[in-house]
Structure 1
Amino acid sequence: MSKQLVLMDHDGGVDDYLATMLLLTMDHVELLGVVVTPADCYVQPAVSATRKILDLMGFSHIPVAESTVRGINPFPYLYRRDSFVVDHLPILNQSETINTQLLSESGQDFMVRVLREAPAPVTLMVTGPLTTVAVALDKAPDIEAKIQKIVWMGGALNVPGNVEKNWEPGQDGSAEWNVYWDPISAARVWESQIEIIMCPLDLTNNVPVTSELVQKMGQQRNYPISDLAGQCYALVIPQDYYFWDVLATAYLGHPEFYQLREWETEIITNGPSQGRTKVVSGGRKILAMDKVDKEAFYAYILQQWAR
């Protein structure tokens, strides 16, 4: 049975690294590369941490590319500085050298090349904004036919967003950060015919990172991946933190854990609702992860990281 071809596009938040780690544990997946989009991070430490994770897990043959796209609304620096912390974790700095290759070509050019050269359609696993995808589509419209689907952590359909008014004055609180960083690019991807499977805040709000689960990861410290996951989650446990990117990525491992629901939607690109994924009759049809077997998901990630 041939493996599922996947290209990862993450944006350097704490859970982006963990989603990448989870993807690497999936035996049925062939990961073609990792693109780092400079959104929820400072890009140099985010790229460095990504390469160190690939080294740690024995996947130094998988290339990493830095996207050079830019968004409209920057993530708060308090979020972005986590990339420095993860890059300096002791478990990722046991060697003075990094073996995983950092490509000289940009992430958007790498995405175009990978899709054109792939022997079969590729799934894009996107856990940050859709900007790199949109730029790649504009550069090479022919790649749309090579994208099997986009599995994306982003959007808020029927719940409030997470762009809080005290962070972004003038906004009405309906936007989700991965859309808000660059809603114009999200709208560009919405114009395509690519199948989109979203993991929106509607679902992630129900799947928190709990102290109990982080402690269970700590009890698996003899497994380096679980140790690293526990250390990363320990950084964020004082705040309300959810399995955003990891929950989206786990869909590739066990889609049967999830129920999907179709919605007609549009991306709001300006005004106080800029960055909102709005449910509208006659809008662009997408599939959203609507429900998940939470206990099965929790057990799955603990099992995958115990290796």
Structure 2
Amino acid sequence: MKKQLVLMDHDGGVDDYLATMLLLTMEDIELLGIVVTPADCYIQSAVSATRKIIDLMKFSHISVAESTVRGINPFPRLYRRDSMIVDHLPILNQQENIITTLVAETGQDFMVRVLQEAPEPVTLMITGPLTTIATALDQAPEIETKIEKIIWMGGALNVPGNVEKSIELGQDGSAEWNVYWDAISAARVWKTQIEIIMCPLDLTNNVPVTSELVQKMGKQRHYPISDLAGQCYALVIPQDYYFWDVLATAYLGHPEFYQLQEWETEIVTSGVSQGRTKVVSGGRKIYAMDQVDKKAFYDYILQQWAR
């Protein structure tokens, strides 16, 4: 069966590594590389952890690139430090040297080159802000035709965002972090003709990470990948944590688990709603994951990580 060409762009949060691990288990996907965007992480730790995960899963022929873009609104340090914790997990530090290649070019240049060289259009799996792809499009506008679609974990359409409401910071609570980090770049991507399939907070709010599920991963400890997934999720159990990036990524493996809904939208780039993905009549048409078969999804990730 012909494999789907995919290029991943993640930003180093705990669930970004788990999304990477899920994507690497998909046999009908040809992963052309991974770009790490310096948003929800400390970039050196995030790049290192990503390469170690690829080594652990024995896919060291897949290259990693470090994006050098910058956002407007930094993620909290408390969120970003998780990248350092994951990078230090013993299961990822059992070999002396990292094998997986870190390319010399920037992540945005790598993205341009991979898209230009691809024999057919590529799906972008993006689990962080859209800044790297926006920058790549500015550098080489012709790559737009080489993008089949963007599957993106981002946005909140008809529910509050996860950027805390703050009178002091001038935020009304409508923004989602992956948009808020750099809403101007999100708006740039909204101006393209690329098909966008969003996994918004509207859906992820209904798919929490539960203690029961983490314990099920732990009971698969004789499988290193499931053990690593359980350790990563154990880090965030004290928080309200949801299947954000993993839920978005699972769509690549089983789109039939999901129902999509079309919306007309715009990205708010300034003011108290900066970072909001607003539903507006006549706006840019996107598809949003609206419903998911939760049992099928939970069973799928447990099965895929049992290796």
Match of 2:220, as an amino acid? Q
Query: What is aligned with 1:5?
Result: 5
User: 2:284 aligns to what?
Assistant: 284
Deviation at 1:96, TM superposition (A): 1.1
Q: What is the CA–CA distance in structure 2 between the aligned matches of 1:239 and 1:185, rounded to whole Å? A: 29
1:85 corresponds to: 85
User: Which residue of the partner structure matches residue 250 of structure 1?
Assistant: 250
Equivalence for 2:24: 24
- Paired residues for 1:1-307 under 5 Å: 1-166=1-166, 169-307=169-307
Contact in 1 for aligned 2:12/2:43 (Cα 8 Å):
yes
Displaced runs of 4+ in structure 1, greater than 2 A? 165-169
In structure 1, what is the Cα distance between the partners aligned to 2:168 and 2:247?
A: 26
1:155 aligned counterpart, secondary structure:
coil
Q: Which runs of 5+ in 1 are unaligned?
A: none
Q: How many angstroms does 1:53 deviate by?
A: 0.2
Deviation of residue 139 (structure 1)? 0.3
SS at the partner of 2:54? helix
Q: Distance in 1 between matches of 2:154 and 2:111?
A: 20
Question: C-alpha offsets along residues 223-266 of structure 1, whole Å, 9 cap, x if unaligned?
Answer: 01000000000000011000000000000000000000000000
3-state secondary structure, aligned to 1:137:
helix
1:264-283: CA deviation from partner (whole Å, max 9, x where unpaired): 00000000000000000000
Unpaired runs of at least 5, structure 2: none
Distance 2:168 2:243 in 1: 23
**Deviation at 1:166?**
4.8
CA distance in 1 between counterparts of 2:300 and 2:277 reads: 29
The 1:17–1:168 alpha-carbon spacing in structure 2 relative to 1, beyond 3 Å, is farther
Rounded to whole Å, the distance in 1 between the matches of 2:240 and 2:83 is 18
Judge conservation of contact 2:267–2:277 (CA < 8 Å) in 1.
yes
Which residue identity lines up with residue 243 of structure 1 in the other structure?
F
CA offsets, 1:42-101, max 9 Å, x none? 000000000000000000110000000000000000000000000000000001100000
DSSP-derived class of the 1:34 partner: strand
Q: Distance in 2 between matches of 1:92 and 1:11?
A: 19
Distance change >3 Å, CA 168–CA 238, structure 1 → 2? farther
| Deviation (angstroms), 1:35 | 0.1
- Aligned partner of 1:51: which letter? R
| Superposition deviation, residue 168 in structure 1 | 7.0
Report the Cα distance in structure 1 between the residues aligned to 2:167 and 2:156, rounded to whole angstroms: 18
Per the normalisation by structure 1, the TM-score is 0.99
Is residue 166–residue 172 contact of structure 2 (8 Å, CA) maintained in 1?
A: no
Q: Is the Cα–Cα contact under 8 Å of residues 220 and 227 in structure 2 kept in the other structure?
A: yes
Query: How far apart, CA to CA, are the structure 2 residues paired with 1:175 and 1:40?
Result: 15
CA apart distance, 1:170: 1.1
Q: Distance in 1 between matches of 2:243 and 2:110?
A: 28
Question: In 2 relative to 1, CA 128–206 (structure 1 residues): closer, same or farther, beyond 3 Å?
Answer: same
Distance (Å, rounded) in 1 between the aligned partners of 2:206 and 2:7: 27
Q: Counterpart of 1:47 in structure 2: which amino acid?
A: V
Structure 1 Cα separation of the partners of residues 198 and 185 of structure 2: 16
Aligned residue identity for 2:266:
E
Letter paired with 1:298: Y
Q: 2:272 is paired with a residue of what secondary structure?
A: coil
Superposed CA deviations along residues 93-135 of structure 1, whole A, max 9, x for unmatched, are 0011000000010000000000000011100000000000000
For 2:289 and 2:255, how far apart are their aligned partners in 1?
A: 10
Q: Secondary structure at the match of 2:271?
A: coil
Shift of 1:294: 0.3
Give the match's secondary structure for 2:252: helix
Q: 3-state SS of the aligned residue for 1:102?
A: coil
Q: Measured at CA, do residues 168 and 156 of structure 1 come closer, stay the same or move farther in structure 2, by a change above 3 Å?
A: farther
